[in-house]
Each structure stands twice: as structure tokens, then as C-alpha cells.
Amino acid sequence: MNEDQVLLIDKPAGITSFGVVARVRRRMSEVAGHKVKVGHTGTLDPFATGLMIIVTGKECRNAGNYSKLDKVYEATFRLGQTSSTGDPEGEITEVSEEQPGLAQIEDALAQFRGEITQRPPAFSAIKINGQRAYKLARQGEVVIVPERQVTVFSLDLIDYSYPELRVRAHVSSGTYIRSLAEDIGKVLGTGAYCSELRRTEISEWSVKDAEAIEK
């Protein structure tokens, strides 16, 4: 078995990125007869699905190069509500019953194309004073993650049937789709959170070429 690999995995919902790494490490170590080094090149939230690049053995030294690549996501934003985590796993709050028209949706999306300033979610893996932001947030601390500049290369409407807005976003590394959903909800005045998220591409790699974790 070649221990130095780049693996494309189609992550299912309900498992953390670290959980995917642990499964791959356990299986490869069983086959090799010793512990094999395994890492990932960028997390996906537990509720999210799609492409993960897993590196093993000596390929782990190249993980940083893969993590800097741009990505494509398909996402569903639920309008009219907000979530404490920006996704279905948080505390949901009703905000508005206003139903924006298609022209309003298109205008809102247009405001988030190009280079934008974005504040990552408090419930994220970003480190604040050496600790993961989500750990601090779960402890009840008020977490303010610094804003950052990111690039949205394209943001296209797939479908809109209130309250669900489906989009395809091609973004730079470090862009949070949950934050994008919340910011679009603020522009629309309805509130919004990301109810479904699937990563379909990382640079030239596609989820179509990925293997299910079970396989």
C-alpha cells in the first residue's frame, strides 16, 4: 500500500472533518500494520457534505498548499430566520415574514461578488488567543472574530422558492458560506442562515471524482 497519497473523499453530513481523518487513519493503519499519518486540507462543517482532500504519509507536508486553493460550493439559504451558529444546528430565531422578489434577490447577490469584507462565524475553527473560536463560543463567551478580505469570484442563483434560496459560489480560501448567508439576509432585511452546504470543487478537483467514506 502506498502510504503517501492524496485522497478525494465525499464527506457525508453528520460527521466532522476530524472524524473523516480518524476513519481514514484507522483503516490505513490497519492495512499498513502501523500508524499512518493522515491530515486534511480544510474543514467542512458537520452539517455540510462534499469534497475533502485528505493527505497521508509524506503528502501531509503539502497540506498547506491545498488549503489555500479556491473552492466551489452549492448552498441553500433559508430566509426569514437566523441561527446562532449560521447553520441548522444552532438556535433558530424568527426574524421576518417578508418575501423578497426575484429582483431583490439578484440585487442582493450582486453586492457580494468580487472582493468583500467578511467576519467569520464565532462558531468556527479559527483560533482566538490560541483557542478554537467554537470552543470559546460553546463556553458562553462572546467571541468576535476579526474581519478579513475574501474574494467571491462568482455567486449565481440556482433556484429561489421562498423561503429557500439556492446558490452556487466560487470563492477564495477562507470564505465562510455561513457568513455569506447571514450577510445576504441582512441586506434583504429578512435574516438568513445556511441550511444546506455542499463543496463540489477545490481548484481542479471535483467531488465527482471523490470516494464515499465507507468505500
Residues that are catalytic: 45
Provide the pairing of β-strand 127-128 with 49-56. unpaired
Residue type, 92: I
Contact predicate 150/174, CB 8 Å: yes
What b/e readout covers 60-90, taking b as 16+ CB neighbours within 10 angstroms? beebeebbebebbbbbbbbbbbbbebbbbee
Residue 123 CA, distance from chain mean position:
12
Residue 49 CA, distance from chain mean position:
9
Contact predicate 185/93, CB 8 Å: no
Residue from 85, 69, 79 nearest 122 by CA: 85
Residue from 45, 44, 74 nearest 169 by CA: 74
DSSP string, 78-108: EETEEESSSSTTS-EEE-------HHHHHHH
Strands of 133-191, DSSP E: 148-161, 164-171
